Amino acid sequence: MIGDCENCGHSAMYHLPFAGCIKCSCDEFHVRSLAARVGLMLAILLVVTGCGCEQVDSGHVGVVRRMGAVSPHVLPEGFNWVNVLDSVEEISVQTGATTTKAQAASKDLQAVETEVAIQWSTPADHVVCLVQKFGTYSGSWTNGILEPAVQEVVKAVSARYTAEQLITQRAEVKLAIELGLNEFVGKTLKDRECDGGIRIANVAVTNFHFSPEFNASIEAKVKAEQDALRAENEKRTRVTQAEARAKEKTRGLCSRPRSRKPWRPPSSARARRSNRTRTSSSSASRRSGTASCPRTPAAPFRSCR
């Protein structure tokens, strides 16, 4: 705008009524007046438009509230322009862990305390729904969703196994608890119209706690089994040693040289030969007029008449 300077009356190249003479043919240059008026204009503009800035850390999203109402859109991580009337609350979308203990009874009515660790996360596009339905204070999602699920599922699964099976079939018990938690949490979120708001990455059964009486019975049973196994091993060792000694003895007998005895006719042949000898001697005695006298051990040399 070309006009006359208000101070000097000379013609100005850029003259603004509200900013004064920016540049005129005279030597006066109103820099201070211009800076003050421009600053005031920027301040009024910021207040009217409500411009502000917020920084969201990595692994988080920003939930925007204006006058208590939650905005349907979240702020991504990094630097963001927001209205000065808005408040921003950071919500983590990283994978976190929650550990919960649950009291239950086994199939054989043994009291057992199960410790369960859950790794879970929240998708960024479901954060607003969870904030509106379950709140944002510390532990609201774990206390309102995860812990009730653990209590209910652990009681239902523990009732299907005995106390001993909970230990010996640990992998099967862990799988049953994981499936039950996914089903329970999914149903809870679906009923509140936040389906898929929590994703369970992994479930770990970290420990089982039994009563002192049950622990003592388990120790006694294990000791009895170990004693029986030790006795069986000792028995096998003794049998093996006896068999080894028998084999060694048999091997020694077989290695001795055999003595050669003179050949003798069979007993039947000896008897026939002895009978023939007696018959011939009796015949000779009758011919000579003498009788044969059998010799006995008491009188081997008695004469016969």
Mean pLDDT estimate for the chain: 78
What per-residue confidence (pLDDT) applies to 199?
A: 93
Highest-confidence segment of 78-82, 113-117, 209-213 = 113-117
pLDDT tens column, 74-114: 999 998 888 878 889 899 999 999 999 999 999 988 999 99
Predicted local confidence at residue 288, as pLDDT: 55
Domain 94-210 belongs in CATH node 3.30.479.30: yes
Domain boundaries, the chain: 1-49, 51-92, 94-210
Q: Between residues 217 and 21, which one has the greater pLDDT?
A: 217
For the segment 53-69, the average pLDDT, to the nearest whole number, is 89
What percent of the chain is predicted at pLDDT more than 70?
67
Rounded Cα distance between 265 and 135, Å, is 117
DSSP string, 52-95: EEEEE-TTEEEEEEETTEEEEEEEPSEEEEEETTEEEEEEE-S-
Angstrom distance (rounded) from CA 192 to CA 189 = 5
Q: Which of 60-69, 86-95, 149-158: highest mean pLDDT?
A: 149-158
Q: What is the pLDDT of residue 21?
A: 47
